[in-house]
Amino acid sequence: MQPRHAAPASVLLLAGAYALWQRSGHRLPAHTLDLRLEHVVSFGADRGRGNLLGVQPYMMPPDYATPERFRAKLEGYLAAAHAQGWISPRTVVVFPEHLGTWLVALGERSGLYNAATIAHTLRLLALSHLPGLARQWPAAKAADRTAAALFAVKAKQMAEAYHHTFGHLARTLRCTVVAGSILLPSPQIEEGALTVGPAPLQNVAAVYGPDGALHPRLVRKVYLTPAEQPLASGAPSAALPWFETPAGRLGVLICADSWHPEPYARLRQHGVELVAVPSYLEVSDIWHRPWRGYVGMATPPDVDPADAGRITEGQAWLRYALAGRLRSSGARWGLNVFLRGALWDLGADGHTIVVEGDHVHEAPHGDGAALVNLWLGA
């Protein structure tokens, strides 16, 4: 007989408020399409080879209230890129890490979108889904079992909204889309659709072709940050896939994976020409602060440990992530894009970095959204 796992007191205490919460209003907050588009930047010249297009969106909680709002927000950025002439069948659009994760807020009551902190947000989610939370609790093996169970409760709804949104964007604009990553339990691709299972959570990104079809393999994050480790499980680097696109063979590394040599060696074996890195830097105003080193994970042997505290966070991204490691993958072009916005009390920083051969370009640093285009050479 399997042992039974009791829910923590923090969850049980919510039960007393459940009936009152169920009677509360469900009116969604007023919403306008606020792109906060600060920078529109392009590097190189169109030689007919195609382009990498980084979309650095500025996301806010109401953007996740419904699938329609989520899609409209992202369509707004791609409409601006289309007006620049940056979208064609040879375009690879790259969205950032954890863009899809906050679809966990879909269909909730208005108070959730106005909550001050992510902790309060998760409490409101628990109130709204106590029966489902109780059902998912025994299978939630993560250190943070409450949050893992909540993601499991919302997983099917999240996966459907994510799949329909990014498939629609790719099909409508007839371009390749590297969808922003999403946290889902046991994500799989079955009969061309994104599905979920019971556990564990993984940070994954999907790639959609110009016909809107989902590529049959997901990108699964290998190296998890301290914020992800209580919730999710990493994947083996040997599982990293590659994708044939009209612009060339593509590899995708999710954020921290771009800081380690093994994933690049794997991509080199696949003969990739392009590397996309969706990232999320969850601390505000950290780019110009001293770098803290490889927090929560082993430092690779090719990294100088003395750089921790000696160089800035931004300098470390240029030295030890995509900009400093792309050559080892054998690829010629790369793009690293970050999630920005005001998502409860979560922070955000970073700016898009593009690499072409031995040249590294940085988009302007700012708090808002950005569109960054890299034309591929002959």
What pLDDT score was predicted for residue 238?
87
What pLDDT score was predicted for residue 28?
56
The CATH number that applies at residue 328 is 3.60.110.10
CA–CA distance, 168 with 75 (Å, rounded to integer): 10
What is the token pair recorded at 318?
Answer: 């240029």
The angle that helices 322-329 and 261-270 make with each other, rounded to 10 degrees, is: 40
Number of other residues whose CB lies within 10 A of the CB of residue 236? 10
Q: What pLDDT, in 10s, does the model give residues 175-195?
A: 999 999 999 999 999 999 999
**Inside any domain, residue 285:** yes
Q: In the chain, what are the helix, strand and coil shares in percent, each to the nearest 5?
A: 35, 20, 45
**Inside any domain, residue 17:** no
E strands along the chain, which residues? 37-43, 51-56, 58-59, 91-94, 176-178, 182-185, 188-190, 193-195, 201-205, 207-208, 219-220, 242-245, 248-252, 274-279, 333-338, 340-341, 353-356, 359-362, 369-375
**Considering only CA atoms, which of 198, 200, 208, 203 is closest in space to residue 220?**
203
What pLDDT score was predicted for residue 142?
86
CA–CA distance, 221 with 216 (Å, rounded to integer): 16
Beta pairing partners, 279: 338
- Distance from the first to the final alpha carbon of the chain: 63
Beta pairing partners, 295: none
Name the region of 50 (left: φ>0; alpha: ψ -120 to 50; beta: rest): left
CA–CA distance, 6 with 206 (Å, rounded to integer): 35
| Contact criterion met (CB below 8 Å) for 126 and 145 | no
What pLDDT score was predicted for residue 162?
98
**Inside any domain, residue 26:** no
Q: Report the alpha-carbon angle 133-137-141, nearest 5.
A: 140
**Inside any domain, residue 197:** yes
Which domain range does residue 194 map to?
36-375
Segments in the chain below pLDDT 50 = 1-26
- Chain centroid to CA 195: 17
| Contact criterion met (CB below 8 Å) for 92 and 331 | no
What pLDDT score was predicted for residue 377?
86
**Inside any domain, residue 105:** yes
**Inside any domain, residue 235:** yes
**Inside any domain, residue 287:** yes
How many separate domains does the chain show? 1
The DSSP call for residue 185 is E
Residue type, 168: H
**Inside any domain, residue 24:** no
What pLDDT score was predicted for residue 199?
80
Number of other residues whose CB lies within 10 A of the CB of residue 275? 27
What pLDDT score was predicted for residue 27?
53
